[in-house]
Amino acid sequence: MKSLRISRLACLFVGLLTLTFVPRAAADCDQLLKAPVAPHGSAVEGSAELCIDENLVNATMHTENLTPGDAYTIWFAYIDDPTKCGNYSGGKPGVCQDQDFFLPAENPAGVFGRMDGTIAGKSGRARFTGRFRDLHFSHGAVVLFIMFGHGPASATDNRKLARQLLTPQLPVLGPPGLGAPADGDAGHGVAVAAFNVP
């Protein structure tokens, strides 16, 4: 019987590789913010964390009660100065709404980008993560993790599946990159976690 021999160099390489993927403990954050995941016209619930360091932001969102087989995306939204919200479409000043992310088109108050996405498994649970380097937050800013539901994930059309997992599927936000008009308003908000930056 042959014995398995592993060189010391191989052991060192595997050890270093393992260390690279060990998540940081919450105590390692310069600032750790926590928030519940609140449903928005759905049964989705969970918890979220925002780990803020000098040059790195780690975001985590644990969710449950997802519909198995449906596609979901998480959108990382940032509002630097909430007092600039609510000046459009009859909104109340200081109250941020959807339109504050696309109006006025030349300089909206909100900024957003894709954080993560998945197809829900049989358990109806999913963990979403995001890692943002060199992102800095102002005091009094608001950070949102917005979960979009996209309905049953396409099993036959890879282009449609890509739209479900990579875009919000809302053409009003900017076609075709943020939503193809042919899909209509296929994406919709199903849950949100909100953080107030001290």
Whole-angstrom Cα distance, residue 4 to residue 169? 52
From 140, 119, 143, select the one nearest 192 (Cα to Cα): 143
- Expressed as residue numbers, the domain containing 148 is 32-196
Q: Has residue 11 been placed in a domain?
A: no
Q: Has residue 137 been placed in a domain?
A: yes
**What pLDDT does 191 receive?**
98
**What pLDDT does 23 receive?**
46
> In whole angstroms, how far apart are CA 94 and each of 35, 81, 172?
21, 9, 22
pTM of the model: 0.84
Q: Has residue 18 been placed in a domain?
A: no
| Gyration radius from the chain CA atoms | 20
**What pLDDT does 93 receive?**
82
**What pLDDT does 54 receive?**
92
Exposure of 103 in the CB half-sphere (CA atoms within 13 A):
13
Q: What tens-digit pLDDT sequence spans the chain (198 residues)?
A: 444 444 444 443 334 333 333 444 455 899 999 999 999 999 999 999 999 999 999 999 999 999 999 999 999 999 999 999 987 767 788 888 888 998 888 999 999 999 999 999 999 999 999 999 999 999 999 999 999 999 999 999 999 999 999 999 999 888 988 999 999 999 999 999 999 999
**What pLDDT does 22 receive?**
40
Q: Report residue 48: phi and psi, to 5°.
A: -140, 150
**What pLDDT does 27 receive?**
56
- Going by C-beta distance under 8 Å and a sequence separation of 6 or more, which residues neighbour residue 141? 78, 79, 80, 81, 82, 196, 197
Q: 152 by DSSP, 3-state: which?
A: strand
Q: Has residue 168 been placed in a domain?
A: yes
- Residue in the block written with tokens 């990579």: 166
In the structure encoding, which two tokens stand for residue 18, read together? 């393992």
Whole-angstrom Cα distance, residue 95 to residue 91? 7
From 71, 128, 96, 67, select the one nearest 196 (Cα to Cα): 96
In the structure encoding, which two tokens stand for residue 60, read together? 């985590």
Q: Has residue 123 been placed in a domain?
A: yes
Q: Has residue 171 been placed in a domain?
A: yes
- What is the CATH number for 165? 2.60.40
